[in-house]
Structure 1
Amino acid sequence: MKKKWIAAGAAALTLLSTSAGVYAGSSLQQIKAFLDPTMKFQVNGQPFQPQNDKGAVLVPITYQGTTYLPVRAISKALGVNVDFNNKTNTVFLGEKGDGVSIAGSINGDFRTKDPQLTTYNGKDFKDVFFNNASGRRSSGFMLYPKGKYQTLYLQVAAVGKDIENIFVQDSDTDVKLKIGTVDVAEGLKTFEVDISGVQSLYIHADLQDHGSLFVPLTTSYYK
């Protein structure tokens, strides 16, 4: 589920905290502003203190009647992904426009680029996770989005036998973010998973004898 960017009052959430690239531009304009350490915050009724990546307390800045808050700290509190592109000097809030393949962040056995194993329904996906071992077994692999993305679009196919249990889990909190099944007749099935702020994921499936798990890494992606 996509989460919305929410801001209360006249606060303008426009500053990244501890992001060196923000300060490196040659077009910066010097201003006279004021820090306001007396301002208090609540998020969903609970006290909240903005902090940088190292845990140091951050305070808002007041400039010409407008209050500016650190984007990274506030986005974390609201569950909205934030990223910064140093080359284009662009702050990204929520989902980015283009997807990023999970191929660069996967860790697990059964990954293959063998053309005899990467083809499904006549299409060669080039790079896949394909557990085609024998017997009843559990299968899984790790992904490392590192808190950079809002959503995981995971494509999965059951080969030979239906997959009656598959889940995506936040490996740091053990919270299952998505639970489902995959039938052979469904073909490639796409799971959309909210992964805002998640550092690492565990993908798990229970497989039957003569059943295989096929995950194309080139068409499964983060946004």
Structure 2
Amino acid sequence: MKSTVRLLIACLVLFGLGAGSLSAAAPASVNANLDHRLKFRIDGRDWISPSAPLSYKGTTYLPVRAVSNALGLDIKYEAASGSIIILTGKSGASAPGGGLTAAGEKSRGLEPVVAKADPNLKFLIDGAQWTPSAPPLSYKGTTYLPVRAISGALGLDIKYESATLTIHVASGKSSGTGGSGGSAPSAATLPLFDSRYEQGGYELHTGQSDKLTYAGKKYSRVLYSPEPYQHFYVYPEGKYPVLSLQIGASEVMVVEFLGAGGEKLKTAEIQKGVVSTVTLDVSKFTGDQYVTIYARPFHDNLHGEVYIFDTSKYTNDKEASSVLPEAPKTLPLFESQYEAGGYEIHSGQSDKLTYAGKKYSKLLYIPYGYQNLYVYPKGKYATLALHIASTEAAVVRFTDDNGEQLKTANIPKGTVTEIELNVSKFTGDRYVTIYVEPAVSDLEGEVFIFETSHYK
């Protein structure tokens, strides 16, 4: 039966009375280095850390979750108790506090960064308090501990080979075929945020950020962008065949996966306000080959926030498939792709928002007819229900993208009229032109298209 190593991380707050009270020191910024030189071998096999190790005051630090996944251990975060729980399959693990010193550091392969050292963090291992000799570091939302401290906590043997700058870790498990080739056995899944990636224009949110709650669920880490058109780069490194991306947006979006040469690998539509799972075959992406993930609006009129969640992962499950929320039974026209043409978009405090005694929050308006509106049904709905009005009697004409007339309808003066059009054959970039003209040539009236217009 597996034993549980529980790293309970909590802030140490000292409550006191009077002027002599002590308070906990704030986390301090420290100058560290990402050490791109170091190599790792786990159970005789090469292993590449998804994030470069940190080097601080001669001690090498690794992310706890990445090492656990490399060893095939089960790891999870328990938010209620603030605990990192690791199932090691061993008992009686010791936890020496010493760091692993890499002697003879050279400037080559070191990338200066600013990390956070927090002396207030407390650790409990199997219920007993433990203090590492070197303080834990935090960098880009990931907690790092000294290599030897992690190994000791997990009951591992470790040594450093200075001639080759290689750290050897032995887990005590069977090493399989061994040899210098190949990589350490992969766990069934690897969290995307514990692998190699570049966040591009996204912000990493952790801790108490208000961006961590989405669609009623609380996450511990989220990559967030207040607007689309940002790039996010992932490096599968040939270790897992499938990337399962969990993504959300505040407006309807399209997410595109691009190869290193810019070739389009996959496109998927993301519904607003829900979490969508999109999978991609990444088995051919090895070494430094990367995939670009790019979110853009479903149409240019709506720009929304984009979220990539910490539940995104790599998986060995080749049968995994995308789980996209079903399209709603109706879709407001103004939340779909359209081009306003000569129409004005009115919202906010515009005096055009009240018509026939009803107040609208958004509408398209022109002071007279003879203007075109272009809509793109995308083949997702069978019918367009257009809600339109004119201050004088008018005629509305629907034509396809080849100029062929589809339908003509009369609009009575001063009333809101619903006109339905079959749009089931309009897929991809095909569009419908909506054109309004006066019923009587010398009586030109204002034209309104309302936000209640929709696909169904």
> So what's the TM-score if we normalise by structure 2?
0.27
CA distance in 2, matches of 1:219, 1:101: 7
Counterpart of 1:222 in structure 2 is 314
- The answer to whether residue 240 in structure 2 is matched with residue 149 in structure 1 is yes
Higher relative contact order (CA 8 A, sep 6+): 1
Alpha carbons 1:115, 1:126 under 8 Å: kept: no
1:110 corresponds to 2:200 = no
Q: Is 1:194 aligned with 2:281? A: yes
- What are the superposed Cα offsets for residues 55-104 of structure 1, whole Å, 9 maximum, x if unpaired? xxxxxxxxxxxxxxxxxxxxxxxxxxxxxx975424799x9552101103
1:84-127 alpha-carbon deviations (Å, 9 max, x no partner): x975424799x955210110323123222153011112221111
Secondary structure, in 3 states, of the residue corresponding to 2:44?
A: helix
> Would the aligned equivalents of 1:148 and 1:197 in 2 still touch at CA under 8 Å?
no
Q: Quote the offset at 1:206 in angstroms.
A: 0.9
Corresponding residue for 1:76?
Answer: none
Cα distance in 2 between the residues matched to 1:112 and 1:176: 29
Q: Is the Cα contact below 8 Å between 1:142 and 1:202 reproduced in 2?
A: yes
Change (3 A) 1:168 1:90: farther
Return the alpha-carbon distance in structure 2 between the equivalents of residues 205 and 86 of structure 1: 42
**How far apart, CA to CA, are the structure 2 residues paired with 1:179 and 1:222?**
18
After the TM superposition, which residues 71-150 of structure 1 pair with which residues of structure 2 at under 5 Å, given as runs? 87=171, 88=173, 89-90=175-176, 98-104=188-194, 105-108=196-199, 109-113=202-206, 114-133=208-227, 137-150=228-241
SS at match of 1:184: coil
Residue 21 in structure 1 maps to residue 110 in structure 2: no
Alignment of 1:156-195 (within 5 A): 156-159=247-250, 161-163=251-253, 165-171=254-260, 173-184=261-272, 187-195=274-282
- Structure 2: how far apart are the matches of 1:197 and 1:118? 32
Q: Could you say which structure has the larger radius of gyration?
A: 2
Partner of 2:341 in structure 1? none
- Displacement of 1:155 in angstroms is 0.7
SS of 1:103's equivalent in the other structure is helix
Aligned-partner Cα distance in 1 for 2:170–2:281: 26
Asked whether the 8 Å contact 1:166–1:204 carries over to 2, the reply is: yes
Q: Cα offset for 1:174? A: 2.9
Look up the SS of the partner of 2:245 in the other structure: strand
Structure 2 residue runs of 5 or longer lacking an equivalent are 1-42, 46-168, 316-456
Q: Which residue in 2 is equivalent to 1:44?
A: none
Letter in 2 for 1:126: S
Q: Contact 1:143–1:202 at 8 Å: present in 2 too?
A: yes
Q: Give the helix-richer structure, 1 or 2.
A: 1
Structure 1 residues 119 and 174 mapped into 2: Cα distance closer, same or farther (>3 Å)?
A: same
Deviation at 1:169, TM superposition (A): 1.8
Contact 2:236/2:290 (CA < 8 Å) preserved in 1? yes
Letter in structure 1 aligned against 2:44: G
* Counterpart residue type for residue 311 of structure 2: T
Kept in 1, the 8 Å contact 2:215–2:275? The answer is no
User: Is contact 1:149-1:197 (8 Å) kept?
Assistant: no
Question: Residues 170 and 200 of structure 1: is their aligned pair in 2 closer, same or farther, counting only changes over 3 Å?
Answer: same
Alignment partners' CA distance in 1, 2:277 and 2:241: 16
**C-alpha distance in 1 between matches for 2:218 and 2:176:** 35
Q: Tell me: CA distance 1:162–1:146, structure 2 relative to 1, closer, same or farther (3 Å).
A: same
Indicate the residue corresponding to 1:71 in structure 2. none
1:116-154: CA deviation from partner (whole Å, max 9, x where unpaired): 011112221111111114xxx512211122121110000
Choose 105-114 or 115-124, whichever is displaced more. 105-114
TM-score normalised by L of structure 1: 0.52
Q: How many residues align?
A: 134
C-alpha contact 1:112 1:118 (8 A) present in aligned 2: yes
SS of residue matched to 2:237: coil
